[in-house]
């Protein structure tokens, strides 16, 4: 089930799109004055709980996804714990699903609800999953960082590094057949180095012995729908790897 996107969710999507443009070398964008005034409005969202960072190492021996989720909800291992309303451990089929989708981190809607990909980008991801012939609950959806960076900035390398043991152990327990990395930051978190998603998309990579397909983040596709064709090619390669074909269009 997805939620209506909030103003903060839309701002989140816009910021991610601008970051992609910056990473691809774009130096100027034209913005309507009304948009700037809207963005300058005083935020009224629920204030995050006040917590202190306790950089305790993340255990390496979780025995279940529930254990990981419980730990994530209490985690204070990096400064992102101070900025969240809810941590977002991830959700879906944790029993050897065909696909694990990995995004960058929670946005405003996800932070509000404690669930991954529930805003506008999440609605598009749901459509992508459906077009592949799956239901959302048949795949697993997670992020590199489990808490939302303030103002939806890109997570810092040290924040990604600190949080990655959770995803690493989720992958060990979930045992997905294929991982789909959504966007450059997700790929950066998984591979541990900076990437250009425009150049890397559609080219198989590997994470811990599992086939990993990089493709565009749904937020980016919302801002540049012309890239949906390329994303669909990537997803069809994933289906081919799984020995499947996309279902006929309704
Ligand atoms: S982002 Fe990850 S490491 Fe940082 S506080 Fe949240 S769960 Fe812990």
Question: Residue 97: its pLDDT value, please?
Answer: 98
Question: Residue 42: its pLDDT value, please?
Answer: 53
DSSP string, 77-115: SSGGGGT-SS----EE--SS-SEEEEES---HHHHHHT-
Question: Residue 1: its pLDDT value, please?
Answer: 46
Question: Residue 177: its pLDDT value, please?
Answer: 98
Ligand 1 atom, smallest distance to 145 CA: 1
Please state, in angstroms and as integers, the Cα–Cα distance from residue 31 to each residue in 25, 37, 250, following that order: 18, 11, 37
The alpha carbon of 146 and the centre of ligand 1 are apart by a number of angstroms equal to 6
Question: Residue 30: its pLDDT value, please?
Answer: 72
The alpha carbon of 80 and the centre of ligand 1 are apart by a number of angstroms equal to 6
Which protein residue has the closest C-alpha to ligand 1 atom 3? 163
CATH number of 7-241: 3.40.470.10
The alpha carbon of 199 and the centre of ligand 1 are apart by a number of angstroms equal to 29
Question: Residue 39: its pLDDT value, please?
Answer: 62
Domain ranges of the chain: 7-241
User: Cα separation of 45 and 43, whole Å?
Assistant: 6
Mutate to test the pocket of ligand 1, among 147, 148, 156, 165 (most ligand atoms within 8 A of CB): 147
Task: Kindly report, residue by residue over 25-79, the tens digit of the pLDDT.
Answer: 676 777 766 666 666 655 555 544 567 888 778 899 999 999 999 999 999 999 9
- The answer to whether 121 and 50 have CB atoms below 8 angstroms apart is no
User: Cα separation of 119 and 9, whole Å?
Assistant: 6
3-state secondary structure of 159: helix
Task: Kindly report, residue by residue over 166-224, the tens digit of the pLDDT.
Answer: 999 999 999 999 999 999 999 999 999 999 999 999 999 999 999 999 999 999 999 99
**Band (2; pLDDT cuts 50, 70, 90):** very low
120-131 helix and 7-23 helix, angle to the nearest 10 degrees: 70
Around ligand 1, the residues with Cβ closer than 6 Å are 72, 75-78, 80-81, 87, 145-147, 159, 162-163
Q: Give the burial class of 244: count Cβ atoms within 10 A of its Cβ; 0-12 exposed, 13-18 middle, 19 or more buried.
A: middle
Ligand 1 atom, smallest distance to 76 CA: 5
Task: Kindly report, residue by residue over 227-249, the tens digit of the pLDDT.
Answer: 999 999 999 999 999 999 999 97
Q: What is the model's pTM?
A: 0.83
Question: Residue 49: its pLDDT value, please?
Answer: 52
- Residues 133-158, buried b or exposed e (16+ Cβ, 10 A)? ebebeebbbbbbbbbbbeebebbeee
Question: Residue 11: its pLDDT value, please?
Answer: 64
More confident residue, 5 or 239: 239
């Amino acid at each position: 089930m997805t939620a209506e996107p909030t103003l903060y969710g839309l701002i989140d999507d816009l910021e991610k799109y601008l970051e992609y443009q910056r990473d691809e070398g774009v130096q100027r964008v034209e913005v309507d004055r009304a948009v700037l005034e809207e963005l300058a409005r005083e935020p009224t969202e629920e204030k995050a709980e006040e917590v202190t960072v306790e950089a305790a190492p993340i255990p390496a021996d979780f025995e279940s996804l529930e254990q990981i989720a419980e730990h994530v909800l209490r985690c204070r291992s990096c400064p992102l714990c101070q900025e969240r309303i809810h941590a977002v451990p991830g959700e879906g089929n944790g029993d050897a699903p065909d696909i694990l989708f990995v995004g960058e981190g929670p946005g405003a809607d996800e932070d509000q609800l404690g669930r991954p990909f529930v805003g506008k980008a999440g609605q598009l991801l749901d459509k992508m999953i459906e077009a592949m012939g799956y239901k959302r609950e048949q795949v697993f959806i997670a992020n590199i960082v489990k808490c939302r960076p303030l103002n939806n900035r890109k997570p810092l390398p040290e924040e990604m590094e600190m949080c990655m043991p959770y995803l690493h152990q989720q992958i060990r327990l979930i045992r997905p057949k294929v991982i789909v990395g959504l966007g450059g930051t997700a790929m950066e978190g998984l591979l541990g180095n900076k990437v250009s998603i425009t150049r890397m998309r559609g080219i198989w990579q590997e994470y811990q012995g599992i086939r990993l397909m990089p493709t565009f983040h749904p937020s980016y596709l919302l801002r540049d729908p012309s890239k949906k064709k390329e994303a669909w090619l990537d997803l069809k390669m994933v289906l081919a790897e799984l020995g499947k074909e996309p279902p006929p269009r309704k």
